Amino acid sequence: MGMILALLAAGVFSLACAGAAGAGTTLWRDLADTSAVATADTWAVNPAAPAVDDSGRVAWSAASPRHHERRALALRRLASPEAPGDSALLARRWLMLSMPGVPGLPLYALRRAAPLFLAAGDTARADSCWAALAEGSGLWRWESVRSRAQRAQARGAPARGDSILAGLERRELGALERAAWLAMRALDLGRQVVRTAPALPPASEAEALIESLTVARSDTLGYQDQRDLADVDALRGDRESTARRLERAYALAPASDRFRAGLKYAEALRLARKYAPAAAALAAACPLGTGADARAQCLLERARVERDARRPDPALRLYEQAVKASRDTALIQTALWERAREAEQEGRWHQARSDYQRAAALGRRRGTDAAFRAGLLWYIEGHGRDAATWWGRADSDAGRFWRAIALRRSRPAVADSLLKGLASQPGYSFYSAAARETLGVRGWPGASTVIAPAVGDEPALTLATLLVESGLGDDGVDLVLRWAGGDSRDTLFCPIPPGQRSTSLIGAAQVAFQAGRIAQGIRLAQRALGAAADSGDDRRWGLVPWIYPPGHRSLVQWRVQTARLAQPAIDVALLSALIWQESRFDAEARSRSNALGLMQLMLATARTTLGGARAVPAESSLFDPALNTRAGARYLAGLLARFDGLVPAALAAYNSGPARVLPRWIELSRRFGDALFCELIVFPETEDYVKKIIAVRSAYRELAPRLAEGDGTPP
């Protein structure tokens, strides 16, 4: 084993970052008992990429030139389920591979060979492969250590398994892998998982671990455990379980925490829509608090229960009582803000405006937002000057846009200056899009540029692209996602230099697009843009086109052509933007609420739209892009018809249901434009959703991404 690790470290990893071609042949002879070596031609990375054509449009090539057919064919044959030979022979063939110019391939071969040796019953060689992999690269370190530890535990050697796991104590791991490592290490470490990483998947495993080990020790979960596990359940979206755990925590809380625990329990009941039990929990907990602020906090929580139960009058009274009872400026401003939002939802403009102005006068976090909403309510009541005054106090893009709208008649020069400032902002935000539409301009200075990705010497990108072209797209994308996470101690897949991070991440995005993993490609492109912004790179806006690929373009175009016969408001940009927001073009996406596929449809909605269970026989049917987009486009067309072609109204209904689109919003938008409708939505999640789609639609309209001539399907 020592010889294997030494050869692996010296022969492969130390040379990779310097651009060495291939190494580590001795290792493969030792493990595979063969001296056969496969060779192939020189291979260069050249995956697909967007570029600006002569007309200023962004053209995406759908497939990269293949310069390495022999290498890809060799890997494809080895990875094929129908590959000839027994598992041990296949494992040896993996270890025979040596391809100059792909220094990461020996490690990948170890990763493929280990489970094959295990399937053949050769546990010693499987363990050797995993051990060598663990020493070779941080990207696969956790996977290899976990496999070895699980094997030790399965053999009835828990001490050996724990020793293997303990070897990672001081090794650097990513957040997800660190959490998974903690989850394998008994009760105390399981508690660390739920406290330090409650939102990550291993926290759910740790939750079950803590409960089972606690029962095995004839013990019970304590106050802090119940609170920590409630956080895990809340982040997972399980409101019922969150409420149950916080009920137990409340019963176990020490006297010093009992008031706070009671409020948390009541909040959980409210979020689970159990309003009567929430009110009862508050009635029990509130007497435990002392002081004016405790009383004000109770009044605020009671107001929220009444608000969510749709009893606006008592909610508004309780909010005002909380304001009068509190000495805490932050709590007062929160109560005023929430009271104003409730009054606005009920159409009580004067009361809402008064509360917004009171909240704005307090400054702090909500001050700008409150000033903006006060101006909005002045504006819709016909007081443009007062609106402009309040918008002038709101130091935000929202305030500048609407101040410009209010001043267009009385002070056109000022209005145009404000709008041009917003329109020239790089990127595609809601307000820059609205400003460009108002002015009738397209893009911003320098918009028609595309930054090329890093190519050439990145071992991770070289190997990942080879894997993708060999039909191993999942492994290729998994590799670049791990590499993009970074491991400063990784000597094979070298850490990305700070000055090259954005272009290297775009190289990773290329790999994902080439593999057909559009959602991962978009997320990597967004990370690249963020990295460029962090480094102050003035060229960063050339990364923007990468974020808006023409995903499923042929299918989208077909659906638009069909839907427009019934509803002209649908176009390619709108449908692309909706899919972008819902799933990032991931056909297998599933939300916490069980919405499925490209357009995130519920099974009942799809069946109602397409005519019953025969048209959509099962949930799995919605993972079919053709069926999903047929149902989604038809549903969207129906909503547009219902709301007379008003796009923001249809999008709001798509997100939260038609019943939550209030008639007065539609009436006001007819007087003041579509942008006002977006501002009037009182549900924060829906408001954000609609504004994002409007912004992304502008990106698809302005960039007009298309497939280059002669290409087939989009990336």
Q: Which of 177, 301, 469, 582 is catalytic?
A: 582
Q: What is the mean pLDDT of residues 507-534?
A: 91
How many angstroms separate the CA atoms of 301 and 312, rounded?
A: 14
Strands 50-52 and 706-707: what pairing? unpaired
pTM, rounded to two decimals: 0.83
Element of type H or E holding 584: none
Question: What's the topology of domain 190-381?
Answer: 1.25.40
Element of type H or E holding 221: none
What is the number of H-type helices and E-type strands within the chain?
A: 37, 3
- Which of the pair, 550 or 36, is modelled with greater confidence? 550
Q: How many Cα atoms are found within 13 Å in the side-chain-facing hemisphere of 332?
A: 17
In which residue are the tokens 């494809």 written? 76
pLDDT in tens, 523-546: 999 999 998 888 887 778 888 889
Total count of residues recorded for the chain: 715
Report CA dihedral (332, 336, 338, 341) to the nearest 10 degrees. Answer: -170
How many angstroms separate the CA atoms of 365 and 10, rounded?
A: 55
Fill in the DSSP letter of residue 494.
Answer: P
pLDDT in tens, 367-417: 999 999 999 999 999 998 999 999 998 889 999 999 999 999 899 999 999
Most confident of 425-429, 580-584, 588-592, 673-677: 580-584
Respond yes or no: is residue 582 known to be catalytic.
yes
Lowest mean pLDDT among 8-12, 91-95, 334-338: 8-12
CATH for 553-707 is 1.10.530.10
Task: List the domain boundaries for the chain.
Answer: 2-41+85-189, 190-381, 553-707
- Quote the pLDDT of residue 463: 86
Amino acid identity of 279? Answer: A
Q: Which of 232, 209, 140 is nearest to 481 (CA)?
A: 140
pLDDT-derived band at 53 (thresholds 50, 70, 90) equals: low
Both tokens of 632, joined, read 């989604």
Whether 431 and 396 have beta carbons less than 8 Å apart is answered as: no
Is the predicted pLDDT of residue 21 greater than 70, yes or no?
Answer: no
With a CB cutoff of 8 Å and minimum separation 6, the contacts of 153 are 161
Q: How many CB atoms lie within 10 A of CB 197?
A: 21
Beta-sheet strand order (sheet of 58-60): 50-52, 58-60, 706-707
Residue 691, CA distances (Å) to 141, 369, 406, 651 in order:
42, 16, 20, 9
Whether 470 and 76 have beta carbons less than 8 Å apart is answered as: yes
Whether 649 and 675 have beta carbons less than 8 Å apart is answered as: no
Secondary structure (H, E, C), 459-502: HHHHHHHHHHHCCCHHHHHHHHHHHHHCCCCCCCCCCCCHHHHH
- Quote the pLDDT of residue 216: 62
- Quote the pLDDT of residue 32: 38
pLDDT in tens, 409-468: 899 999 999 999 999 988 899 999 999 999 999 877 666 677 777 665 678 888 888 888
Q: Judging by beta carbons within 10 Å of its beta carbon (0-12, 13-18, 19+), is residue 256 exposed, middle or buried?
A: exposed
How many angstroms separate the CA atoms of 603 and 215, rounded?
A: 39
Bridge partners (DSSP) of residue 608 are none
Q: Which of 486, 483, 489 is nearest to 467 (CA)?
A: 483
How many angstroms separate the CA atoms of 142 and 174, rounded?
A: 9
How many angstroms separate the CA atoms of 147 and 507, rounded?
A: 30
How many angstroms separate the CA atoms of 614 and 480, rounded?
A: 41
Q: Which of 106, 140, 139, 143 is nearest to 31 (CA)?
A: 106
How far does Cα 255 stand from its chain's mean position? 40
